[in-house]
Structure 1
Amino acid sequence: MSVRKLTARVIGSLVLLCGMASAQAQQHLPVADPFQFEPDFRWFEPIYDADLADIKPKKRANTGWFATYDRLYLYGSRPDNNDLNFGDDDSRLDGGAGHRYEVGFMLPDSDSGWLFSWVDNDVGEFHRIRHERGNRINEDELDGEATNAAPPFGLEAIPGISNNIGFNYRFVDELDSLNVISFDSYELSKTWRMEPYHYGGILEPLVGIRWFRLKDTYAASRFESSNDPDNVISSNLLNKYGALAEELTINQAFTENEAITAQFGFRYMKFIDRFVATGDFRVFSGGNWQSSYKNTWTEAVVYDNTTAPISQGDEVARIIREETSPVNSRNEEFFLGFDVRADLAYQLTRDFTIRAGFQLIDIERGLWRGGDAVGGTVPGGDNEQDYLMVGYTFGLTLNR
């Protein structure tokens, strides 16, 4: 046998062995290729009622990549033991808004997949008292020009002496927080699709992890002016700054909750002609690592005279801003809650649907809201509180 023929046989044998090994490996360790779904990107292809009537529920539940977006309008509950609620207002819900994004895929062969979800919702409710400044109008700006304009873009050489932006007079807002909280949630879940029930409903169990971030802001403000009829305040400001003044003091606290939880639940959907009714239920529990810091912030506007009252002709001599060093605290708590959703979608095209729904997220325990009450700087702090969000949603889905 020639060397050339022997070499050819050896190479052929190696290729055959590699092919068999590769096939054997793929049989036991299949690799999910994202492009095996063969998307044709005809998302807006029309679909008719007759087509839907002939499609079984198992086939109407799409496979492959999918994405959803929802605009959220969720009301949030107020913190407990909040002295600034002005009475028994803890049961009130304040309006908030946010977004929900979901991306995932469902394998066509194994009826299993993955889901990533991000939810954010912010609530901001304050008690506001507006105070006019002593020299209530900056008359130099009434003709549309800036006071003490500096090149090159008309920036103020002395910031803080202008009329408030969008107004033709000068004022300061005294704000007390009633319910100011930012909520972010990130989820990664493994999903399965069960066989349809007798009447066409499909159940999709899920198990995963959820990471929450909640930041609560608490502020208690106090405004004092030399024009106040209380002579004690006037004399204190005069002695402190050597002239008539206005002083805004804010005692503030910021608490952050970082919670990592395990969650399980299910998604149930049923197709009714062009409509799709969907319900989600998820329970989560885990640990919450809490941190809080508080400090005091002061701004004083000092005028150029020492005889009360502050009048329109008085000029601002200086602006003094001071801030104390923050006081930090930490804590850990057990975290428990659940998430309920319900949607009704209408199928517009082959892959696009619009939907409206309801969502409720209830964190039963384990939240820190209101800051740290040590020292009495900020009243009402408590690291074992709850938070309820409930409201309505509007959104779009692609291939789900």
Structure 2
Amino acid sequence: MSVRKLTASLITTLAILGAMSNGYAQEHVPPADPFAFDPDFQWFRPVTNMDLADMKPEKRANTGWFATYDRLALYGSRPELNSGDSAETRLDSGWGHRYEIGYMLPDVEHGWLFTATNNDVSANDTTERERLNRYNEDDFPDYGEKGGVTVPPFGAINPAEDANNIGYYERIYFVSDSLNVMDYNSYELNKTWRMEPYHYGGILEPFVGFRWGRLNDLNQQQQYTSTGDGSIVIIDDAPGNNAALGENYERLFTNATITENEVLAGQFGFRYTKFRDRFTYSADFRVFTGGNLQCAMSQQITETTVYDGAGTGAAVSQVILGKTPTVYTRNEEFVIGFDLRGELAYQLTKSIKVRGGFQVVDYATGIWRGGPSVAGNPLVGGDPNQDYVMVGGTFGIELNR
């Protein structure tokens, strides 16, 4: 066989093997590289109603990488406390954020979705109590001919706790009793599937996944007493009494309990989406159930401020801080709940939508608030098997490259 014929035969064989391997790769290798970003980042390119009308629903749905951000204004329900005056049927306003990032394979119609949510509610019954010396005379600027004194170097009082409250020009205790203080965070990872569009263009996306929720509740009561109003009575006829502090001092007593709820739950649900002109209607529903690992941390703190006299301008002699050891209490509960969302989005550009909607999150059972009960005091503590509801509005933006 000649060299020319051998070379031609070898080239033909390599071409056949190359075609076969290419077909094998197309069949078994994923159809898209999730990290192969489209270099055409024309997110702000205008889009017309005609462009949207000519697109099929599956072409308008999110493909590849997509992300959303929503500002949350969710009201939270109050705790059920043993005191009986917690008014758990009331809701207090809260603010938060929701972030989502997902990836949907365009050909096989399945992907992943990660969601992070936080919402903080803080409602307190606060009273301003004027402190024993009313204000610090050294903490005022020099107004020249108008009088006053010059502040210390760099305009700071040392120690800082002897200064007047910033913005008040007087010394005040903000005595606060918590009504509803909750720090809520959740993280979700879901596997999603996209079904074929219905006759009128609606698309259903079922999903299953995992939810990690963190609900930290604060229950706090404070009490202010002083020799100035007679709420502290000096006793000097026994060893170890408070007579050594003198005749002019005040105390702020704080009883605080932080109750942590770590919810580990599985969930399933669906998302329904329908497109009409520039508008996108969507509904999202998920049910979750799992366990709650609970831990309550209780502590009492006392702050005593001693003065060298009574009335305005008295100097601080010393500040005495005392606290009890932290008491930990643990518990476990079963949790079940649901998360419901509804949204309306408007297509602004090729890849950007603005949207608004509502959200309801209900942890129906298994949430501990208020901390443990205290022996001999039936008014302290809360039920470890409570519910927590959040409801309100959302507003955000959506990006689909």
**Secondary structure of 2:52's partner?**
helix
Conserved? CA contact 1:227–1:234, under 8 Å: no
Counterpart contact for 1:148–1:158, Cα < 8 Å:
no
Partner residue, 1:167: 168
Are the counterparts in 1 of residues 82 and 383 from structure 2 also a CA contact under 8 Å?
no
Asked if the contact 1:276/1:345 (under 8 Å) is kept, the reply is yes
Superposed CA deviations along residues 82-116 of structure 1, whole A, max 9, x for unmatched, are 53x7x362111000000000001111100111101
8 Å Cα contact 1:148/1:157 also seen in 2: no
1:1-400 equivalence runs, <5 A: 24=24, 27-28=27-28, 30=30, 32-36=32-36, 38-81=38-81, 83=83, 87=85, 89-143=87-141, 149=152, 153-230=154-231, 233-235=232-234, 239=243, 241-305=245-309, 310-375=310-375, 379-399=380-400
Q: Tell me, in whole angstroms, the C-alpha distance in 1 between the residues paired with 2:134 and 2:57.
A: 69
- In the TM superposition, what is the alpha-carbon distance from 1:331 to its structure 2 partner? 1.1
Aligned length in residues: 389
What displacement does 1:140 show?
Answer: 2.0
TM-score, normalised on structure 1?
0.89
Q: Could you tell me how far apart the structure 2 residues matched to 1:340 and 1:147 are?
A: 59
Residue type of the alignment partner of 1:217: L
Cα distance in 2 between the residues matched to 1:298 and 1:368: 26
Residues 222 and 13 of structure 1: is their aligned pair in 2 closer, same or farther, counting only changes over 3 Å?
A: farther
Match of 2:238 in 1: none
Q: 1:248 to 1:396 in 2, by over 3 A?
A: same
Q: Distance in 1 between matches of 2:82 and 2:152?
A: 44
Partner SS for 2:385? strand
Q: Distance in 2 between matches of 1:379 and 1:337?
A: 27
Any idea what the Cα deviations from partners look like across 1:361-394, whole Å, max 9, x if unmatched? 0000111111122346881222111100000010
TM-score, with normalisation over the residues of structure 2? 0.88
Structure 1 residues 302 and 25: CA distance shift in structure 2, 3 A: same
Contact 1:147–1:162 (Cα < 8 Å) also in 2: no
State the distance in 1 between where 2:86 and 2:295 align.
Answer: 27
Relative to structure 1, is the Cα distance of residues 376 and 183 closer, same or farther in structure 2, using a 3 angstrom cutoff? farther
- Separation in 2 of the partners of 1:242 and 1:169? 23
CA positional deviation for 1:128? 0.6
2:145 counterpart residue number? none
- Structure 2 unaligned spans of 5+: 143-147, 236-240
CA distance in 2, matches of 1:67, 1:247: 52
Separation of aligned partners in 2, 1:240 and 1:76: 47
Which amino acid is the alignment partner of residue 319 of structure 1?
A: V
In structure 2, do the counterparts of structure 1 residues 10 and 285 end up closer, same or farther at CA, with 3 Å as the change threshold?
Answer: farther
Cα distance in 2 between the residues matched to 1:15 and 1:146: 94
* Aligned-pair CA distance for 1:30: 2.8
Worse-superposed segment, 245-254 or 378-387: 378-387
**Deviation of the 1:156 alpha carbon:** 3.1
Q: Structure 1 residues 278 and 146 mapped into 2: Cα distance closer, same or farther (>3 Å)?
A: farther
- Distance between the aligned counterparts of 1:117 and 1:388, measured in 2? 19
The answer as to whether partners of 1:146 and 1:154 remain within 8 angstroms in 2 is no
Tell me the alpha carbon deviations over residues 265-288 of structure 1, each in whole angstroms, 9 at most, x when there is no partner.
Answer: 000011111111110000001111
Change (3 A) 1:38 1:146: farther
Q: In structure 2, how many angstroms separate the alpha carbons of the residues matched to 1:174 and 1:20?
A: 79
- Contact 1:133/1:172, CA 8 A, preserved across alignment: yes
Cα distance in 1, alignment partners of residues 303 and 150 from structure 2: 21
SS at match of 2:141: coil
Structure 1's 338 and 234: CA in aligned 2 closer, same or farther, altered over 3 A? same
Report SS of the residue matched to 2:368.
strand
Inter-CA distance 128–68: structure 2 relative to 1 (3 Å threshold): same
Structure 1 segments unaligned to the other structure (5+ residues): none
Preserved CA contact (<8 Å) 1:226 1:238: no
Root mean square deviation, CA, Å: 3.0
SS in 2 for 1:393: strand
Q: Secondary structure at the match of 1:234?
A: coil
Q: What SS class does the counterpart of residue 73 from structure 1 fall into?
A: strand
